[in-house]
Structure 1
Amino acid sequence: MGLEDRRGATDDVYQPAEDSYLLADAAVERLSETATDADAKPLVLEVGTGSGYVANRIDEETDANVVAADLNPHAVRQARDEGLEAVRADLVAPFADDALDAVVFNPPYLPTDPDNEWDDWMERALSGGEDGRAVIDPFLADVGRVLAPDGVVYLLVSSLTGVDAVVEEAGEYGFSAVALADESFPFETLTVLALYPARIP
């Protein structure tokens, strides 16, 4: 799918598409399976929430406490309009160490020629730079810091970005990866990865 095909209903905020649905389904299913007693509701962060669709699904269909975050102020406003607790944030930078039970992320992953990128919020929502990993790389470098000891990351990756390359990089940051779901389209396959930090005995 081209960049123009992924534009949503507004000019400033990424709206739900196939990647959103796949990630939401996988995250909701896993978070429902791992639910604990009502006194220990997991704290879940969705990074790059866009319209808030994934965070809203998790909020409505699981017992988790959900926070939505996005660098785009228009996305934060839309997520708040959906009734979500939403904050403006650059990836996981403002969040405390060991604070989150799960982090969910549908990153900008489309490989993009820098000469063709838009200097606007939709370009930021879609473009993963030349290799598709310009946002995934710094995310993987820092997300382990904010995870609770038994935390998990649910990350959507496209075959255009290279799932094996992302898994290898995640491993360099101490994560083991499990593919939870995938869906094929004419020009790409989308995969939801669960990333588990290494446990130190």
Structure 2
Amino acid sequence: MVTITYRNADINLDEQVYDPAEDSYLLADVAIDSAKPGMKVLEVGAGTGFVSAVLQSNVDVDLIATEISPLAASCARSNNVEVIRADMFSCFRAGTTFDLILFNPPYLPTAEDEKVPGWLNYAFDGGPDGRDAVNCFIDEVPEYLNAYGMVLILISSLTGIDQVKERMEDHGFKVETCGSDRDCFFEELVVLKGILQP
């Protein structure tokens, strides 16, 4: 296991779990800027726990995460992130709500012959247009947000930023772009902030 340090957080990495990259750093930075002390926060698909661990090291929030991969969930726990092994919101009862929900989805457009074996595929495979997990998240997330609750979603230009914004707006969100990274070789990464309008 390798340990990296970022913004006051020491993060353990596991070679069987997707390593934090530009997208993870961007979402962590925006989360720190957006979160307020005391917020009830959920990270969906925590992976190594990088984003949650960095956020917890910089803002006093009440945080829990979900993660489908048992390998990633174990890694996140080693980074002091409270993790429930579940697919997105499947572990929560009706009426469970949060102030802030973070999601760095699998967003790469992926054909059948591009899938990778094992749990690692969950970190990459966004379906044919890259929006399978994104669309599912947007459809379900309003039920788990308080009034004026906020979502932060990491999206790639490969996924179709305008299409994601439009779907969020159709589900009652006021949407803005609050972070971007254009230094990636073949894509632009953005964080979309959505505020749920009651």
Give the TM-score normalised by structure 2.
Answer: 0.88
Q: Does 1:28 align with 2:25?
A: no
- Give the partner amino acid of 2:91: P
Q: Residues 107-152 of structure 1, C-alpha deviation per residue, up to 9 Å, x if partnerless? A: 0000111222123111111110110001011111101101111210
The answer for the alignment partner of 1:5 in structure 2 is: none
Q: Which residue of 1 aligns with 2:132?
A: 134
Question: Could you tell me which amino acid in structure 1 is paired with residue 80 of structure 2?
Answer: G
**What's the counterpart of residue 177 of structure 1?**
175
Shift, 1:71, TM fit: 0.5
Q: Distance in 2 between matches of 1:22 and 1:95?
A: 27
CA distance in 1, matches of 2:81, 2:96: 22
Whole-angstrom CA distance in 2 between matches of 1:140 and 1:93: 14
Structure 1: 5+ residue runs without aligned partners? 1-8, 36-40
Residue among 86, 102, 107 paired with 1:109: 107
**Matched residue SS, 1:135:** helix
Q: Determine helix, strand or coil for the equivalent of 1:16.
A: coil
Secondary structure of the residue that 1:19 maps to in structure 2? helix
Over the aligned positions, Cα root-mean-square deviation in angstroms equals 1.3
Q: Compute the displacement of 1:13 (Å).
A: 1.3
Q: Is 1:87 paired with 2:84? A: yes
Amino acid in the other structure paired with 2:84: V
Identity, % of aligned positions: 38
- Deviations 1:72-120, CA, capped at 9 Å, x for gaps: 1111111111111111111122224352111001000001112221231
**TM-score in terms of structure 1 length:** 0.87
Letter in 1 for 2:51: V
Which segment is superposed worse, 82-91 or 93-102? 93-102
| Amino acid of the structure 2 residue aligned with 1:133 | R
Structure 2: which amino acid aligns with 1:30?
A: S
Q: Give 1:10 deviation, angstroms.
A: 4.2
Who is 2:20 aligned against?
A: 16
Could you list the runs of 5+ residues in structure 2 that have no partner in the other structure? 1-12
Runs (4+) off by over 6 Å: none
Residue 50 of structure 1 corresponds to: 47
Q: Distance in 2 between matches of 1:21 and 1:152?
A: 19
Q: 2:196 maps to what in 1?
A: 197
CA distance, structure 2, for counterparts of residue 11 and residue 130 of structure 1: 27
Structure 1 residues 144, 135: CA separation in 2 closer, same or farther (over 3 Å shift)? same
What is the distance in 2 between the residues matched to 1:15 and 1:95? 27
Further displaced range: 115-124 or 12-21: 115-124
Preserved contact between residue 58 and residue 66 of structure 1 (Cα < 8 Å) = no
Report the counterpart of residue 4 of structure 2 in structure 1.
Answer: none
